[in-house]
Amino acid sequence: MRWKREKRGFETFCCVFAIVCFLIVMAVHDPGQAAPPAAGIEKHQQAGLTCQSCHKESPPKASVPGALCMTCHGDLAKLITKSSKAVPNPHASPHISPGEQPKCEECHHIHKPSEISCKNCHQDFKFKMP
């Protein structure tokens, strides 16, 4: 008889625990938010851009091609100059053929933290993502 009470108590605990976890997740998750906020989204909002400035459909469905970034951020020569203090300069990579445009989205993200894809192979690189 005692083990039945202990089992019932354990089952009650598990149910209450599951409900509390569910309520915490629901309190933190905003279903109207398409993706977690990241520094990139704030910078673009501060510049007066909206989702439709880059995404041409509403609500946004597809990823924005990196070439669209150059519309506002300038051409590759401008980016190489802007990042010239970084050693090595990520926009002047020897892995990019002359005339080839790097894929902005490999490192820069709007809806999640950006990353330095060079560090996938070159862990010793010290530069930081702005």
Query: Does residue 5 sit within a domain?
Result: no
Number of compact structural domains in the chain: 1
Query: Does residue 129 sit within a domain?
Result: yes
Are 115 and 109 spatial neighbours (Cβ–Cβ below 8 Å)?
yes
- Report field, pTM of the whole predicted structure over 0.85: no
Query: Does residue 96 sit within a domain?
Result: yes
Query: Does residue 59 sit within a domain?
Result: yes
Residue 55 maps to which CATH number? 1.10.1130.10
Cα distance between residue 14 and residue 23, in whole Å: 14
pLDDT the model gives residue 34:
41
Q: Please report how many Cα atoms fall inside a 13 Å half-sphere around the Cα of residue 118, on the Cβ side.
A: 21
The set of residues, in sequence order, having a beta carbon less than 8 Å from that of 110 and lying 6+ positions away, is: 38, 40, 41, 44, 54, 64
pLDDT the model gives residue 18:
66
Query: Does residue 12 sit within a domain?
Result: no
pLDDT the model gives residue 39:
64
Using 50 as the pLDDT threshold, list the residues of the chain that sit under it.
Answer: 3, 29-36
90-121 residue pLDDT tens: 888 888 887 777 788 888 888 888 888 888 89
pLDDT the model gives residue 68:
87
